[in-house]
A and B are shown apart, each in its own frame.
Chain A
Amino acid sequence: MPEYKSKSYSHIIKIVLILIIVAVAGVYVRAKVLPGSFGEFGHYRGDAVKDEINRPLRNGTNASCLVCHPYIREMHLKGVHHTVSCEFCHGPVADHVKDGKVIARLPKKQGRDIKILCLRCHNQIIRARPKESIKMISMPQHLKEKHVRTDHICNQCHNVHAPLMWVKQARAMVGVEEDSK
């Protein structure tokens, strides 16, 4: 039997050495490339949760607006619109107050825009709205029924914050019991 087995191991040593170098380099590169908090809670960067928590608030709540607007508060909370968000119509509070200082005025809808805004919720013609939930109006029939000009804008009769406030006051003054329609 001839002896085929080589006595030289240099080629094996070379391969093992290369593998070790690759492994060490791999571990080093991974440690360099991955952010520090990676794998803290799972297969993701742990600090990403903190980043998300620290995202600045842009919308507050109605309470954050009404704390500085007591006159509106009085009206808004008493009226049927008390569930309507201030920021829906006026924009986010972060555009108005920053670091405890008023930085800008929030827009107020005027004229035709008010009508568009009101009809986002109250337009009967959409036919998709639950009957019990809110009052539905079809335009311009509503204006005709009330015997006013058809180019009237909603806030000429309805206070936008408490829609029935002026209506009730007017009824009390005149003493007329109108059919509640």
Chain B
Amino acid sequence: MIKSIEKEISLDRRAFIKKVLGGTIAGSLLLVIPAGAMELEHIPEQIPGMRKEIGPFITGKKFAFIVDITRCIGCGSCCVADKNEYQVPDGNYRTWVERYVIDDKDNVYVDSPNGGLDGYQKPRKDLPYPVRDTFFVPKLCNMCEHPSCVQVCPVGATFQTDDGFVLIDDKRCVGCGYCVQACPYSVRFINPKTHTADKCTWCYHRVRKGLLPACVNVCPVQARKFGDLNDHESEVYKILHQPHVVSVLKPDMGNKPSLHYVGLRREVV
């Protein structure tokens, strides 16, 4: 009996030493073998087929962005991811989350402390009447089909690519600010570091590498959706082609945004 226990212990000891040794060797190997977290082959493609696109533009895809304001919880993950991705200077926002509060008398109050970057921890206390409803509206570049910002740029620094993205060439931009004024959605700002115009690009560099925009990737409740409208199986196609409360911001401006909102409400501007 005792012998068998002793045997067990010695076996255990052997297993223990083996494990410790194995762990140490594996651990030290980890230090030698490069960790490949940022190499693309270790990150699975989130948008299928994008890594095969090597031409100057994406072919055969028409991207759309959908924000579902019935799902948004106002956590601000998207804002944090965006700031991290682009190292946006404090006080400027490529994307932000607005809080809409409607009181009993149907007055509408909108606020966005620090662009929603710190989340919304406290309810508004400065309102005279009881609150009837509250909801969050994330904002970002509308990626218009007829962008007014491109039209007004005097130096050809902002442009629409053949795949439908509106981008900024910060080497050409002279920082005149015409585009900042022309944008009906106020998504543009003059970056205080580069002194050039800056705005959300729907993470064009990530999309071209087959990754979702940073904000879509981090949203914990899938309030932000990004996909290809030419793919009839994609979630965005289904949302836009099936009965849903879907709208765009300021449709009367005629910019034809590619950013759609699910559950958009009359109060939202």
Query: What is A's interface to B at a CB cutoff of 8 Å?
Result: 35, 38, 41-46, 48-61, 63-65, 67-68, 81, 83-85, 87-88, 91-94, 96-102, 116, 119-121, 123, 125-130, 133-134
Which B residues lie within 8 Å of A126 (CB)? 74, 120-123, 134
Contact with A along B35-64 (1 / 0, CB 8 A): 111110011101000000000110000000
Whole-angstrom distance between the alpha carbons of A65 and B218 in the complex?
13
**Which of B123, B212, B214 touches A125 (beta carbons < 8 Å)?**
B123
Query: What is B's interface to A at a CB cutoff of 8 Å?
Result: 30, 34-39, 42-44, 46, 56-57, 70-71, 73-77, 80-81, 84-87, 99, 118-123, 131, 134-136, 156-162, 167, 169, 171-172, 201, 204-206, 208-209, 211-212, 214, 217-218, 220-222
List 5 A-B pairs, minimum CB-CB distance, nearest first.
A100-B34, A120-B119, A48-B169, A44-B159, A85-B218
Cβ–Cβ contact A45 & B172, under 8 A: yes
Whole-angstrom distance between the alpha carbons of A128 and B220 in the complex?
16
Cβ–Cβ contact A101 & B35, under 8 A: yes
Cβ–Cβ contact B156 & A61, under 8 A: no
Which B residues lie within 8 Å of A129 (CB)? 73-74
Min Cβ gap A64→B in Å is 5
**Which of A52, A57, A83, A101 touches B34 (beta carbons < 8 Å)?**
A101
**Which of A43, A51, A65 touches B171 (beta carbons < 8 Å)?**
A51
**Which of A43, A61, A100, A130 touches B43 (beta carbons < 8 Å)?**
A61
Which A residues lie within 8 Å of B74 (CB)? 126, 128-129
Of B37, B86, B206, the most chain A CB neighbours within 10 A belong to: B37
Q: Tell me the nearest residue of chain B to A125, going by C-beta.
A: B123
Cβ–Cβ contact A125 & B122, under 8 A: yes
Which A residues lie within 8 Å of B204 (CB)? 52-53, 55
Whole-angstrom distance between the alpha carbons of A55 and B213 in the complex?
13
Cβ–Cβ contact A63 & B42, under 8 A: yes
Cβ–Cβ contact B171 & A85, under 8 A: no
Whole-angstrom distance between the alpha carbons of A96 and B35 in the complex?
10
Q: Tell me the nearest residue of chain A to B134, going by C-beta.
A: A128
Q: Tell me the nearest residue of chain B to A92, going by C-beta.
A: B84
Whole-angstrom distance between the alpha carbons of A43 and B157 in the complex?
9
Of A46, A59, A94, A127, the most chain B CB neighbours within 10 A belong to: A59
Whole-angstrom distance between the alpha carbons of A125 and B123 in the complex?
6
Cβ–Cβ contact B205 & A55, under 8 A: yes
A45-B169, A85-B218, A128-B99 as given contacts; A53 in contact with B76, CB under 8 Å:
no
Whole-angstrom distance between the alpha carbons of A65 and B56 in the complex?
30
Whole-angstrom distance between the alpha carbons of A84 and B220 in the complex?
5
Which B residues lie within 8 Å of A98 (CB)? 38
A44-B169, A67-B42 as given contacts; A58 in contact with B73, CB under 8 Å:
no
Which A residues lie within 8 Å of B217 (CB)? 59, 61, 85
Whole-angstrom distance between the alpha carbons of A99 and B37 in the complex?
9
Cβ–Cβ contact A120 & B76, under 8 A: yes
Whole-angstrom distance between the alpha carbons of A118 and B55 in the complex?
44
Q: Tell me the nearest residue of chain A to B120, going by C-beta.
A: A126
A83-B220, A129-B74 as given contacts; A52 in contact with B172, CB under 8 Å:
no
Which B residues lie within 8 Å of A56 (CB)? 205
Cβ–Cβ contact B214 & A59, under 8 A: yes
Of A45, A56, A60, the most chain B CB neighbours within 10 A belong to: A60
Q: Tell me the nearest residue of chain B to A97, going by C-beta.
A: B37
A48-B171, A85-B217 as given contacts; A121 in contact with B157, CB under 8 Å:
no
Min Cβ gap B229→A in Å is 21
Cβ–Cβ contact A121 & B81, under 8 A: no
Q: Tell me the nearest residue of chain A to B223, going by C-beta.
A: A133
Whole-angstrom distance between the alpha carbons of A52 and B76 in the complex?
25
